[in-house]
Each structure stands twice: as C-alpha cells, then as structure tokens.
Amino acid sequence: MTFSSYIKSWGVGIKSLATGMSISMMNFWRKPVTECYPENRHTLQMSDRFRAVLTMPHNANNEHKCTACGICQLSCPNDTIQVISKTEAAEDGKTKKVLDRHVYKLGQCTFCNLCVMTCPSGAIVFSQDFEQSVYTRSKLTLQLNQPGSVLEKKQA
C-alpha cells in the first residue's frame, strides 16, 4: 500500500462518515411520527392495503353474496377456510347449493389475500380491525356467514 492510496482511503472513510452523520442529523431534527396507540385507538387510520380479519359483509336484509362455490377454500394454502354447504330444493323443483357455514380460523391465517382475490362474487373482504388478541384459541375460529360475527364477538 502506497502513501497516496493510504491518504485516499482516509478521505473516502471521512466522506462516508460525514454522509452518514448528515443523514442522522436530518432525522434527529425531523418531527416524530410516533402514534400514541392506546389513546388514539378510535381515530387510528390503517393503510388501505392492511389485512386484519376476513369478513363477509351482509346487507340490510341480512343477506350475503356467498354462493358456496368453495373456491376460497381451494385457494387457501393452509386450510384456514371451510365452506360447508347444503342442497335445498328450489320453488321450481331444482336443487340449489346453499351456504350452511363459512368457518374461518384466524389463528392459522397467513393473510395472503388469495381467498379474496379468487372469490368470483366478492363475498369476502379483509377488514381494518387490527385488535385480535384473545385468551383462548377457540375464540379465533369464526363463522363468517353470521352478520357481525367478528366485531360483536370482539366487543363482548
């Protein structure tokens, strides 16, 4: 190593140190963006792409869009969703597949969004409800085809 390359490496090191210190000082004087979580629980806004709990929206007549096709169950990589259907006779004499239970295991979900993307009728969506702590695992198994099954159980 020559003397000139030794001095040059010192110069590169000092320049690198100055760059890092300037970035640190910029962040030191910047306004903090910390959220005061427990106090602002009701006003906290999550990002639009945040995935918390799978829900099945119901309209005012207590109806949902699920046709019990089972595509969401097939697309789930770890069997988080179970679609249990039954056949009923229609008024015209034909049999029709009807949703009996739509079981969702929140504790096993990887929140991959494959079930929502593959649902042809748009019957299931992810909600923004991020507080999901419970004391027993049995409360993490939810039945989605009941209106308000997620929110009402969490508040009770």
Q: What is the CATH number of the domain that holds 151?
A: 3.30.70.3270
Q: Is residue 39 part of a domain?
A: no
Q: Which residue has the higher pLDDT, 38 or 154?
A: 38
What is the average pLDDT across 59-72? Answer: 89
Q: What is the number of domains present in the chain?
A: 2
What is the average pLDDT across 61-88? Answer: 92
Please indicate, yes or no, whether residues 83 and 150 belong to a single structural domain of this protein: yes
- Among 29-43, 74-88, 91-105, name the one with the lowest average pLDDT: 29-43
Please indicate, yes or no, whether residues 14 and 67 belong to a single structural domain of this protein: no
Q: Are 86 and 76 in contact (CB under 8 A)?
A: no
Q: Are 81 and 74 in contact (CB under 8 A)?
A: no
Cα separation, 152 vs 140, whole angstroms: 13
8-42 pLDDT, tens digit per residue, is 999 999 999 999 999 999 999 998 877 777 788 88
DSSP codes joined into one string, 103-145: EEETTT-----HHHHH-TT---EE--------SSGGGGEEETT
pTM for the predicted model, two decimal places = 0.68
Please indicate, yes or no, whether residues 109 and 58 belong to a single structural domain of this protein: yes
Tokens of 93: 């004499």
